[in-house]
Amino acid sequence: MNQEATTAATADSRGATNANPIIVGLDIGTTKIAAIAGRKNEYGKLEILGFGRASSNNSVQHGQVLNIEQAVKAVKEAMENCRQSNSSLNIREVYVGIAGHHIKSLQTRGDLVRQSSEEEIARNEVDQLISDQRKTYIPAGDQIIDVIPQEFTVDNHQNIKDPIGYNGVKIGANFHIITGDKFAIRNITRAVNRSALNIKDIVLQPLASADAVMCEHDLEAGVAILDIGGGTSDLAVFSEGILKHTAVIPFGGENITNDIKTGLGVLRSQAEAMKVQFGSALAQETKANAIITIPGIRGMAPKQVSVKTLAQIIQARMSEIFDFVIYHLKQVGMDSRTLNGGIILTGGGSQLKHLIQMTEFQTGLSARIGYPNEHLANGYIDELTKPMYSTCIGLILKGYSDFERNRKDFVAGNDEFVAVPTDFTRPLTTEEILQEEVMRNVPAHKMKGRKSIWDKVRDGLYDIFRDVDETEIK
């Protein structure tokens, strides 16, 4: 078969029907609201079926929805753009990311004395142990978002990743509990529900981003994921296959833009354009004599700005963000010996020039940019694999983790008739064609056995927001 024929056959296979549902990730960020619809193909890779985005219209600040009316307009616009990209889509439910200053985390310890110690530990006993942690005292006004088990113990046996099948008198575990402000959670729920959508689940954004950009080797080696968004920078730290720490750093791309606006005396739109086109995280890497000319306002003379001065402003703010990262890593005893995978940078702010060099210089850890193409099928346009869409892709993967482990009910509807839009694809390269030929020969049972990061780190978790009204989250 020649390359053209193989490419055509591969394109046809993308539109083939399968039993997997369509899952939609909705990322409500400080600068943008993005919606991506995806479905896994027969190789376990995501096909992008719909994509839309819109400006947040200043409705979100530092990751929190403040103006619900404007947020509803922005969500509706993003969803409408997503539907227009594929008229066959019928979107009713979404997975939504959450971040913001209100997010906190704490470590707890729980134990359960077994009633029938002669039998092997069963799933319901692990579920009961996890459920008991939802009774942990938290400050008034906060709500438990997630209870994530770390390492288990059975009697005197330590560091057990999955205790099911073990035998003993007492089972215990260390837990990472994530909490958030009830009003912030309620605002997100109202904004989505008033956009004629149901929330399938609400997921912590750094964990969603981590699932999109990490592989199993990263999880084993130990890695820190830094998602640099518009209003916040979200940190998730993994070591020995376990989620060790999460944190929300109260600075992001918007802070850099505002610093440029104030420091150089320019309009906000001009500051954003300069950051994107000429910005650098390291002033020493820029040319000393490079000048940017900015048009004057209402007939005023043009303004000239040094590229080095621009980089110095950006570097100062990025340095502050990495001071927080270093602080959090020290708090949990993580360094280059425990994080062999280094730092993975993702999110819209990760696209700054020379950011990798700055990260390595300031933290002493190796660094790379995390693109959400680890789980995407071959042949998709570069726009869909940008770091700014890591959270959206990760939300879809979280949905598939729920689907494959029967954690939630999914309605198929007419999903099987939705094909991949040609606007989202490009011709496959020879290497990608060969990869798909190899995947065709992988037995189906091996494909089904592949686990996502969610399955490995969050095995057997209860649905989040158990105490939220069932009419709001279904």
Same domain, 257 and 302: yes
User: What is the pLDDT at residue 431?
Assistant: 65
Cα angle 447-164-341, degrees, rounded to a multiple of 5: 55
Rounded Cα gap, residues 49 and 380, in angstroms: 11
The residues facing 143 across adjacent strands are: 180
Q: How far, in Å, CA of 161 to CA of 174, rounded?
A: 11
pTM of the model: 0.83
**In CATH, what number is assigned to the domain containing residue 114?**
3.30.1490.110
pLDDT category of residue 115 using cuts at 50, 70 and 90: confident
Split at pLDDT 50, 70, 90, the class of 13 is: very low
Q: Do 388 and 435 lie in a common domain? A: yes
Please report whether residue 465 resides in a domain: no
CA distance 99 to 63: 5
**Other Cβ atoms closer than 10 A to 83:** 17
Domain count, the chain: 3
Mean pLDDT of all residues in the chain? 84
Residues 265 and 321 placed together within one structural domain of the fold: yes
Residue 170 clears pLDDT 50, i.e. is over it: yes
Mean pLDDT score, 156-172: 89
Enumerate the β-bridge partners of residue 467. none
Q: Tell whether the model's pLDDT for residue 58 goes beyond 90.
A: no
473 within some domain? no
pLDDT at residue 383, rounded to an integer: 83
Cα distance between residue 244 and residue 457, in whole Å: 10
Determine the residue type at 126: V
Q: Are both 279 and 366 inside the same structural domain?
A: yes
- DSSP secondary structure string, 305-371? EEHHHHHHHHHHHHHHHHHHHHHHHHHTT--TTT-TT-EEEESGGGGSBTHHHHHHHHHSS-EEE--
Least-confidence region, from 321-335, 378-392, 413-427, 437-451: 437-451
Q: Which of 346, 371, 396 is the C-terminal boundary of a domain?
A: 371
User: Would 469 be classed as within a structural domain?
Assistant: no
Instruction: Round to whole Å and give the CA distance between 264 and 275.
Output: 12
Quick check: 4 pLDDT over 50? no
Tell me the mean pLDDT in the region 242-258.
92
What pLDDT does 3 receive? 40
Report the chain's terminal Cα–Cα distance, integer Å.
Answer: 47
Q: Do both 246 and 295 map to the same domain? A: yes
Decide: helix, strand or coil at residue 391: helix
Strands in 15-141 per DSSP E: 23-28, 32-40, 46-55, 60-61, 64-65, 93-98, 104-113
Asked if 219 and 309 sit in the same domain, the reply is: yes
Q: Are residues 446 and 378 in the same domain?
A: yes
Non-local CB neighbours of 383 within 8 Å, separated by 6+ positions:
none
Domain of 389: which CATH number? 3.30.420.40
Whether 466 is covered by a domain: the verdict is no
Residue 474, domain member (yes or no): no
How does DSSP assign 108-134, residue by residue? Answer: EEEEEE-S-TTSPP-HHHHHHHHHHGG
Structural domain that includes position 382? 3-101+184-210+374-457
Do 152 and 195 sit in the same domain of this protein? no
44-51 mean pLDDT: 90
**Is the CB of residue 199 less than 8 Å from the CB of residue 93?**
yes
Residue 385 lies in a domain: yes
Give 359-415 pLDDT, tens digit per residue.
999 999 999 999 998 888 877 777 888 999 999 999 999 999 888 877 777 765 445
Q: Check whether residue 225 and residue 337 sit in a common domain.
A: yes
pLDDT for position 228: 95
Among 324, 340, 371, residue at a domain's last position: 371
Q: What own/partner pairs with CB < 8 Å and gap ≥ 24 does 420-423 have?
A: 420/14, 420/15, 420/47, 420/48, 420/49, 421/49, 421/50, 421/85, 421/86, 423/85
pLDDT tens for each residue of 274-331: 999 999 999 999 988 899 998 877 778 888 999 999 999 999 999 999 999 999 999 8
**C-beta of residue 168 within 8 angstroms of C-beta of residue 118:** no
51 or 420: which leads in pLDDT: 51
**What confidence tier does 467 reach under pLDDT thresholds 50, 70, 90?**
very low
Could you tell me if residue 467 is inside a domain?
Answer: no
| Residue 131 maps to a domain | yes
Residues 116 and 199 grouped into a single domain: no
User: In this structure, are 409 and 453 located in the same domain?
Assistant: yes
Q: Which residue has the higher pLDDT, 19 or 448?
A: 19
The percentage of the chain sitting over the pLDDT mark of 90, rounded to a whole number, equals 51
Tell me the C-alpha distance between 3 and 301, whole Å. Answer: 57
Per the model's pLDDT, the better-predicted residue between 462 and 430 turns out to be 430
pLDDT of residue 8 exceeding 80: no
Residue 238, H or E segment: strand 233-239
pLDDT, position 415: 58
Considering the domain architecture, whether residues 280 and 396 belong to the same structural domain is answered as no
pLDDT for 440: 58
pLDDT, greater one: 127 or 325: 325
CA atoms of 139 and 178, how far apart (whole Å): 12
Q: What is the pLDDT of residue 435?
A: 62
| Residue of 338, 343, 339 lying closest to 360 (CA atoms) | 343
Q: What is the pLDDT of residue 391?
A: 94
Q: Look at residue 453 in the predicted model and tell me its pLDDT.
A: 54
Question: Can you give the C-alpha Rg of the chain in angstroms?
Answer: 23
The sheet that has 367-369: what strands, in order across it? 242-249, 233-239, 223-228, 343-346, 367-369
